[in-house]
A and B are shown apart, each in its own frame.
Chain A
């Protein structure tokens, strides 16, 4: 196959690489072996966040190296890690979440509403909005708006107020899911029965059946409808 080569600038150095590759595959094509900056290779882990600029364009762009196709003449740098220590807390001891959030993340009050985080998010989330929702005490909104966050750290790298927005979001999602949402009855009931050993005999009886008997039962299963 005749590959069309295009130039890219990796941390300033020019390489000609085949068109159509993702940034990650282009780096490997060049000859880099990743230790940092590569985790899942599928857009889930946030290890490969990348910033880049196109010549003649002042705008700083962001993407995931494993998901972003190279464009001719892009100038790129991966940011595999950003210093964002995480404050510890005990979710079981939170009585007043609005107060707790200010104690665990005092910097939250420093959000100036600049929106730099929005431009930095490869998942197209709006940390500015979920931080505001958290400050208002709207836990459900915060949780829903931040759900797709892969904790890549790019918003924190650009934040004027020096917040770590994704840690705030995680705290709120956990609080919301654990405390605000009720625990379903069907789960409580099933687990009470399991703890009482109610199913032990039935499962044991099934586990002791011959392979033939099991196969027969297997072929006779009635499927629930989609």
Chain B
């Protein structure tokens, strides 16, 4: 019994017929120019309705991803006139906003360096994109690899628009971060002698992704969270930041938090703030499904922008080539790149192989979109969806009988629930929104353009250029989590916080009015809205 409807099973037969011939032939890699051409033709970033000009703020006149502009052109969730800034609820050295890998590592390091820290996060600590990462963390730790090789792959992957100083520190700190994680007790995959196992991810020309089975992010997250608790760092959950606070000198001086359950606000005065609020997926750029966690609503970008920080590359969204397309319950969920890194092919309805699976994500996603939309070579689902096959049985065929069970137990398990045996049958995939390539511009010390405000992880921009490589984000969050903490602690040694103000929010509102913008939204969004219109229509109060 197959978990696939009969209509889909026919194309599986074609795929099986071509399997042995496909095994012998790798699809050649595209040149950089060839890739650029494909991207411009097929990547969702180049669709007419995907980006639009923002009319106010530091990036005024530039084009950013549409749904972000909607929120940037909205008024604040907060009424600045109602906030009593005299009543300070927390007074700290360093306020860290966001409880994923970047935030937790930053809070931990700042605490270790003697600062008085508060970590505020929107959901629970660890409810984040970090905990969902499967593949692993990139670092040049192998003898036949080097920092230069990692640099070249990363900057080419980012289409040569990454900030080079950021990439230099990223690749430099990478092996140090792997050691830091190992010393904290993260259970990396190892060879019998203790050497670290490394795998491929798209766009890397060496195997350099270090994994903890197929739950790498979860392993890192639960370990750093455990250590944060061991160190007794104060934490406030279900308390998203809704605006930053400034002082009269224009330095960042804290934030206003919202208790999501009681809807009461609180005021945090801080000598410095580290933003680590993660990505944008739950805004569903271009209306794609997303792999991201529930809280990925770009809040950090919104509040930093109101404060005057500029954004970088926010017209470049990452679509992961292999989001699940069937069964519908799994729509948009990630099928890790490690499947392709371990030999699974992408195959169209004719059983053909159409792209080298280890190209960068922007390239592979574009190739799938071209196959399905432009060439009509997709496989249709009974519910109107379309996708291509990911030939997972090849992983065992190219490796050994037990490889899928050993390395991809999570995937085997999740599909078994729906009657699909990925050892024998392929997985149907289609691109899904995955990562925010850009963000708040930082420098190698994780400083933003606002004094006292630092940013780390997915909410920051410049490190990954216009397209991130697999494994480079788990790396980014810890590299800049560390750097942000160290810079913040250095900064506070001479920082003096003046009188707290929300003047920047008032001015932003005035600018919106002056530009004649009146959208009915309020931002940050905090949580996505999945309530049906039918239900809303009948909420009469």
B531 located at the interface, meaning its Cβ lies under 8 Å from any Cβ of chain A in the complex: yes
Which of A89, A170, A199, A211 touches B222 (beta carbons < 8 Å)? A170
A33–B215 contact, CB under 8 A? Answer: no
A147–B398 contact, CB under 8 A? Answer: no
Once A41-B293, A186-B195, A222-B205 are accepted as A-B contacts, the answer to whether A147 and B215 lie under 8 Å apart by CB is yes
B6 located at the interface, meaning its Cβ lies under 8 Å from any Cβ of chain A in the complex: no
> What A residues does B175 contact at CB under 8 A?
187, 190-191, 194
A173 located at the interface, meaning its Cβ lies under 8 Å from any Cβ of chain B in the complex: yes
Q: Which residue of A lies closest to B356 (CB)?
A: A223
B86 located at the interface, meaning its Cβ lies under 8 Å from any Cβ of chain A in the complex: no
B230–A90 contact, CB under 8 A? Answer: yes
Contact with B along A73-104 (1 / 0, CB 8 A): 00000000000001011110000000000000
Nearest CB of chain A from residue B331's CB, rounded to whole Å: 10
8 Å CB contacts to B: which residues of A1-49? 1, 20-22, 25, 28-31, 33-36, 38-45, 47
Among the stretches B150-158, B268-276, B363-371, B385-393, the one at the interface with A is: B150-158
Among the stretches B7-15, B160-168, B297-305, B510-518, the one at the interface with A is: B160-168
Which of A29, A39, A176 touches B294 (beta carbons < 8 Å)? A39
Contact with A along B138-161 (1 / 0, CB 8 A): 001111101111011101100010
B205–A173 contact, CB under 8 A? Answer: no
- State the CA gap A94–B414 with chains docked (Å): 37
B32–A186 contact, CB under 8 A? Answer: no
> What B residues does A20 contact at CB under 8 A?
328-329
> What B residues does A221 contact at CB under 8 A?
149, 152-153, 205
8 Å CB contacts to A: which residues of B273-303? 291, 293-295
> What B residues does A211 contact at CB under 8 A?
160
A112 located at the interface, meaning its Cβ lies under 8 Å from any Cβ of chain B in the complex: no
Which of B141, B164, B223 touches A174 (beta carbons < 8 Å)? B223
> What B residues does A43 contact at CB under 8 A?
410, 414
A181 located at the interface, meaning its Cβ lies under 8 Å from any Cβ of chain B in the complex: yes
Among the stretches A52-60, A126-134, A200-208, the one at the interface with B is: A200-208
Interface size on A, residues (CB 8 A): 72
B123 located at the interface, meaning its Cβ lies under 8 Å from any Cβ of chain A in the complex: yes
> What A residues does B206 contact at CB under 8 A?
224
> What A residues does B29 contact at CB under 8 A?
223
A44–B131 contact, CB under 8 A? Answer: yes
Once A177-B188, A186-B141 are accepted as A-B contacts, the answer to whether A40 and B182 lie under 8 Å apart by CB is no
A173–B185 contact, CB under 8 A? Answer: yes
> What A residues does B195 contact at CB under 8 A?
184-186
B27 located at the interface, meaning its Cβ lies under 8 Å from any Cβ of chain A in the complex: no
B132–A40 contact, CB under 8 A? Answer: yes
> What A residues does B127 contact at CB under 8 A?
39-40, 45, 47
> What B residues does A44 contact at CB under 8 A?
131-132, 215, 217-218
Nearest CB of chain A from residue B473's CB, rounded to whole Å: 15
Which of A33, A45, A176, A199 touches B148 (beta carbons < 8 Å)? A199
B25 located at the interface, meaning its Cβ lies under 8 Å from any Cβ of chain A in the complex: no
Once A174-B184, A199-B146 are accepted as A-B contacts, the answer to whether A194 and B172 lie under 8 Å apart by CB is yes
B531–A177 contact, CB under 8 A? Answer: no
B333 located at the interface, meaning its Cβ lies under 8 Å from any Cβ of chain A in the complex: yes
A148 located at the interface, meaning its Cβ lies under 8 Å from any Cβ of chain B in the complex: yes
Once A20-B329, A151-B222, A218-B32 are accepted as A-B contacts, the answer to whether A203 and B205 lie under 8 Å apart by CB is no
B529–A33 contact, CB under 8 A? Answer: yes
Contact with A along B183-213 (1 / 0, CB 8 A): 1111110100111100010000111000011
- State the CA gap A41–B333 with chains docked (Å): 9
Contact with B along A162-203 (1 / 0, CB 8 A): 000000001001111110011111110111001100011011
- State the CA gap A38–B144 with chains docked (Å): 43
A177–B196 contact, CB under 8 A? Answer: no
- State the CA gap A185–B179 with chains docked (Å): 11
B328–A190 contact, CB under 8 A? Answer: no
- State the CA gap A184–B194 with chains docked (Å): 5
Which of B215, B328, B532 touches A29 (beta carbons < 8 Å)? B532
A34–B151 contact, CB under 8 A? Answer: no
> What B residues does A28 contact at CB under 8 A?
530-531
B146–A47 contact, CB under 8 A? Answer: no
- State the CA gap A52–B183 with chains docked (Å): 40
B238 located at the interface, meaning its Cβ lies under 8 Å from any Cβ of chain A in the complex: yes
Q: Which residue of B lies closest to A21 (CB)?
A: B329
A226 located at the interface, meaning its Cβ lies under 8 Å from any Cβ of chain B in the complex: yes
A72 located at the interface, meaning its Cβ lies under 8 Å from any Cβ of chain B in the complex: no
B160–A214 contact, CB under 8 A? Answer: yes
- State the CA gap A178–B146 with chains docked (Å): 25
Which of B178, B212, B293, B358 touches A40 (beta carbons < 8 Å)? B293
* For the complex of A and B, 8 pairs with smallest distance between CB atoms: A174-B185, A39-B127, A178-B185, A218-B156, A182-B194, A31-B535, A177-B187, A221-B205
Q: A69-B329, A174-B223 are in contact. List 15 more A-B contacts (CB 8 A).
A: A34-B294, A39-B126, A39-B127, A40-B128, A44-B217, A143-B187, A147-B187, A147-B213, A176-B187, A178-B183, A181-B194, A185-B195, A187-B141, A221-B205, A226-B398
- Could you show 21 A-B contacts with beta carbons less than 8 Å apart? A22-B329, A31-B535, A42-B291, A69-B329, A91-B227, A124-B413, A147-B212, A173-B187, A182-B193, A182-B194, A183-B194, A184-B190, A184-B193, A190-B140, A190-B141, A199-B147, A202-B146, A203-B147, A203-B172, A217-B152, A226-B200
Which residues of B are interface residues toward A (Cβ below 8 A)? 29, 31-32, 123-124, 126-128, 131-132, 140-144, 146-149, 151-153, 155-156, 160, 164-165, 167-168, 171-172, 175-176, 178-179, 182-188, 190, 193-196, 200, 205-207, 212-213, 215, 217-219, 222-223, 226-227, 229-232, 238, 260-261, 291, 293-295, 328-329, 333-334, 341-343, 358, 383, 398, 409-410, 413-414, 417, 527, 529-532, 535
Which residues of A are interface residues toward B (Cβ below 8 A)? 1, 20-22, 25, 28-31, 33-36, 38-45, 47, 67, 69, 86, 88-91, 124, 143, 147-148, 150-151, 170, 173-178, 181-187, 189-191, 194-195, 199-200, 202-204, 206-207, 211, 214-215, 217-219, 221-224, 226
